[in-house]
Chains A and B, each alone.
Chain A
């Protein structure tokens, strides 16, 4: 037990993590390209045309996985936040800052594609649909996190403050979602739901899953690349970075 713990903390040290991340990045990058290629091909070429919505529905192959990812990444950030506050590990804060931009990007992608999908379906670029509204709020939460971290100069404080904000956010997300749902039913919002595509065919599900895994691999690649940059930035004066630079 204690031995495995020590091992984990060893990986949590930036000096060990940096080369490790460098070694696994190519694999995740390759996986991302393959999965996204297969997913797009399945979604755009193989999946049948929808009887009601025509070809326009195909945007869900980007939209739905992007929404999933944006939610999921925030949860992962909250996980790192809790870990960082509990064990005071330096890597946790760096992982949070590395994940946030990708999460914000997926939230934005989800909003953008949602809007594109909404134009032919609802006849408007923006509809105050409960899901879309929640996604917008999630996007704001990401922006708040990034802005807070950017505004604090001392990296240690930036990490801790960011971690507290991420945890407060993750507790609030279910409450916000619930309240928006509640608000939506009170106001009789749009009734067409994006994810309840009539009789989802297996091929469609497969396409979406491929895309989701592709996004996953992409997120890991990006986060690791970014975390390597952050490690170098913060540990610029330490011995091992100097040694690496010499090589």
Chain B
């Protein structure tokens, strides 16, 4: 990445962050959705601390998964409707770079708050200090994967009828590895097995997604724009 191409990337991120700042309620709603979904589980399952500690990683991770899915529908749709996406495709700067900027902005708005609030919810599930750290670390590595893979789905379903439900159907199966490694990291730490293996696999997955997902998303967006 040369210095000249960093600027458009940064502008793309800035633009989406600015838009999110003008839509604060949407961001906060997604975060509350995460909090409520995770809090419903003890109510449905029972307050036994032993049991809660056991389901905590899965519960928090599935909550994070669903919360990301909420924002994904609006990742490209408004830009598609008002023609911004067309202008981005016509930019002399690489389209992939701008798309990558949008994905990063999505993570900053939808993923990062989830990571930051997760330890608080972990406490409700009786997780101890060390496991909380692993949880945060796994979400920190995992939520960008959710944004990256999700962007591919959002691009594929752009402007298609029933795109919201369709997006979940396409994307959720692809989220499974991230879910397994992410929740597994916390679980194996709880079991005293050490989380390094899971976390490094999650990191590898993140790298692969970071390299390929923006590119595939761009191809899918060009198809949608045609």
Contacts and interface: CB of A to CB of B under 8 A. Distances in A.
B170 A175 contact: no
B223 A160 contact: yes
Contacts of B193: 186
Contacts of A172: 174, 177
Given A147-B169, A157-B223, A165-B170, A183 B162 contact: no
A161 interface: yes
Given A164-B216, A168-B174, A172-B174, A182 B180 contact: yes
Contacts of B161: 151
Interface in A39-80: none
Nearest to B165: A147
B5 to A, nearest CB: 25
Contact of A151 (B152, B157, B212): B157
Given A161-B223, A186-B188, A148 B180 contact: no
B176 interface: yes
A186 B157 contact: no
A227 to B, nearest CB: 22
Interface string B149-181: 000100011001111001001101110110011
Contacts of B160: 148, 151-152
Contact of B184 (A141, A152, A182): A182
Nearest to A184: B180
B121 interface: no
Q: Which secondary structure dominates chain A's binding surface?
A: helix
Nearest to A144: B170
Contacts of B220: 161, 164
Task: Give the residue among B163, B174, B187, B205 with the most A Cβ atoms within 10 A.
Answer: B174
B180 A161 contact: no
A225 interface: no
A15 interface: no
B209 to A, nearest CB: 10
B21 interface: no
A157 B173 contact: no
A148 B173 contact: no
Interface in B32-68: none
Interface size classification for chain B:
20 to 34
B82 interface: no
A160 to B, nearest CB: 4
B69 to A, nearest CB: 14
Task: Give the residue among B157, B160, B172, B181 with the most A Cβ atoms within 10 A.
Answer: B160
Nearest to A160: B223
A176 interface: yes
B180 A137 contact: no
Given A157-B223, A161-B220, A179 B181 contact: yes
A144 B219 contact: no
A152 B201 CA distance: 35
A161 B222 CA distance: 10
Interface string B202-221: 00010000001000100110
Given A164-B152, A169-B174, 4 more contacts: A144-B173, A157-B224, A172-B174, A176-B176
Interface of A: 137, 140-141, 143-144, 147-148, 151-152, 156-157, 160-161, 164-165, 168-169, 171-172, 175-176, 178-180, 182-183, 186
21 contacts: A137-B176, A144-B166, A144-B169, A144-B170, A144-B173, A148-B156, A148-B157, A148-B170, A151-B161, A152-B160, A161-B156, A161-B220, A161-B223, A164-B216, A164-B223, A175-B205, A176-B173, A178-B177, A179-B177, A183-B180, A183-B184
Can you list the 5 inter-chain pairs with the closest CB atoms, starting with the nearest?
A179-B177, A140-B173, A144-B170, A179-B180, A160-B223
